[in-house]
Structure 1
């Protein structure tokens, strides 16, 4: 079979990950359903509080709302389809190739935006703590809007290029040991796998994209928070303690994203044809842990948001 004919023949892909959950599918269904309801309610609640309270209309809280909105969209790209697949009772789920590519693009783009938003948060904290007299000018509404556009549009453009290249590769295999589609897995299905013509440039491009939208933001966060620690060490204990407390939630979310993304990337690179359960587990962790933890961290660890939440819910 020629690559052109195989490309024309492959119109759908099969997700085998659901088979790993099928024995207890209704337990998993209700667990994921409960988690998704929690994610929806908690994210929307925190975003509403930030949007409705003028006292929270500041760059730090706007960026928190952006992170939660990003997490909300990421969950919407995975949870509903996963719940439908579990409810269907099928062990092998067939997905049209365009739908699979679209899901891979959305998941990867929003995942990269998460790291960019965390870098934007670290910039805001650095400006507020280390350049307080220029904070209003440096983080003006126009500057904040431009920063948010960069956080969403740069990953969307870079990942879009990778998704288009992956969609054009001829496929000789159609089974993904995953619960959802991702760009890297699509490349592994191509004729010749990673050694196929066009696959190697795509892998290099993917590494560059990851470096630009994941590694660079993480390094930027570490550098800026390192600088903040130095400044706080020179300041009074009261002021430095208050400043550091505002950084803790962002650092917790950074660790959360970095660990889950690192485990997922490592598992995908090291898997050698076996251990489908490990692939399913890593794909679960990479979207469940951040989407569930984000509203908990920002809702409970950011004092101003927690105060407004208690007032809204009339909790003493």
Structure 2
């Protein structure tokens, strides 16, 4: 690792062009971040407290909520700090730490959505085998594998990026990403680009393919069933489908932000950059809380018990 690189901080130039929008952005990001944090932690608490929710189809949304908390927490406090502070800069070590957690967050959500699609596929297409296939132990092993592989790949990417010698230390973005740091390098290093592309294919494209494949099978199976069974299948799959579409759309705009952010107006640049880390973590627990009946019932039960205690 090139230790000399850590002497010079990374400066974010985009903040200086926001002007009168600074205060509004601070309030907006703070409210959205705290709201998302509270809603996610509340969903986690409800599922952890209610023993009847200790099942794979609820364990996976808990991990989705935890990933959302990680993603928003690695970005929002830093952005708020830069909007308030006079100096819009951070050390390269801090920048690389943000890259690590951002990479884990974005890939983890897609992997979790693939696992949730598989869970729905087994539940609808192989209902008699569901409890033997989707056991809590198997789900925990799959989750452990996902976290281990994602952490290892992200750590490798951060290590490769940290070995670069930088000729510039200014970034026209809200936050750090490996592509932005690689563009500051004195020499072009194709290894980092190739490794990043491989990670994107393995942890984003492939999980998306699995989600689509699962729903193709679900669609084929449900077409052969009664209208009532089709309605139940749709009700079961709706939270996951809405979550998948929401995060895929946010990821698409995030990709635009990474590739052509310097060509669009600064305010639009900022909105796209924030959206990926704020909106999905805020909406995902709301979607599951509204659409999944047992979660709604558990929330009502807990709220009723708390109200009764205070009387």
CA offsets per residue over residues 8-41 of structure 1, 9 Å max, x none? 4753101223224342322221111111221111
Match of 1:230 in 2: 220
| Change over 3 Å in CA distance of 1:152–1:299 after alignment to 2 | same
Match of 1:14 in 2: 11
| Change over 3 Å in CA distance of 1:165–1:313 after alignment to 2 | same
How far apart in 2 are the matches of 1:226 and 1:305? Answer: 27
Matched, 1:153 2:148: yes
Match of 1:254 in 2: 244
- Match 2:44 to one of 43, 47, 63: 47
Task: Give the aligned CA root-mean-square deviation in angstroms.
Answer: 2.0
Gaps of 5+ in 1: none
| Change over 3 Å in CA distance of 1:137–1:20 after alignment to 2 | farther
Gaps of 5+ in 2: none
| Change over 3 Å in CA distance of 1:275–1:29 after alignment to 2 | closer
- Match 2:98 to one of 100, 103, 120: 103
Match of 2:171 in 1: 176
How far apart in 2 are the matches of 1:141 and 1:295? Answer: 21
Match of 1:305 in 2: 295
Match of 1:281 in 2: 271
How far apart in 2 are the matches of 1:245 and 1:29? Answer: 38
How many residues of Structure 1 are paired with residues of Structure 2 in the alignment?
A: 304
- Match 1:37 to one of 34, 37, 61: 34
SS at match of 1:180: coil
How far apart in 2 are the matches of 1:306 and 1:255? Answer: 22
Matched, 1:62 2:89: no
TM-score normalized with structure 2 length? 0.92
How far apart in 2 are the matches of 1:21 and 1:152? Answer: 37
Match of 1:116 in 2: 111
SS at match of 2:10: strand
CA offsets per residue over residues 215-259 of structure 1, 9 Å max, x none? 100010000011011111111211221122111111111111111
2:47 and 2:62 in contact (8 A); partners too: yes
TM-score normalized with structure 1 length? 0.90
Q: How far apart are 1:277 and its partner, in Å?
A: 4.1
| Change over 3 Å in CA distance of 1:190–1:275 after alignment to 2 | farther
SS at match of 2:11: strand
Q: How far apart are 1:45 and its partner, in Å?
A: 0.8
Higher normalized contact order (CA 8 Å, seq sep 6+, divided by chain length): 2
Match of 1:72 in 2: 69
1:268 and 1:279 in contact (8 A); partners too: no
How far apart in 1 are the matches of 2:177 and 2:109? Answer: 16
- Match 1:130 to one of 125, 133, 147: 125
How far apart in 2 are the matches of 1:97 and 1:141? Answer: 40
Q: How far apart are 1:157 and its partner, in Å?
A: 1.3
How far apart in 1 are the matches of 2:218 and 2:103? Answer: 30
CA offsets per residue over residues 120-165 of structure 1, 9 Å max, x none? 0011111111111111111112111111112222221112211111
| Change over 3 Å in CA distance of 1:209–1:82 after alignment to 2 | same
**Mean alpha-carbon deviation: is it higher for 235-244 or for 275-284?**
275-284
| Change over 3 Å in CA distance of 1:50–1:69 after alignment to 2 | same
How far apart in 2 are the matches of 1:254 and 1:147? Answer: 19
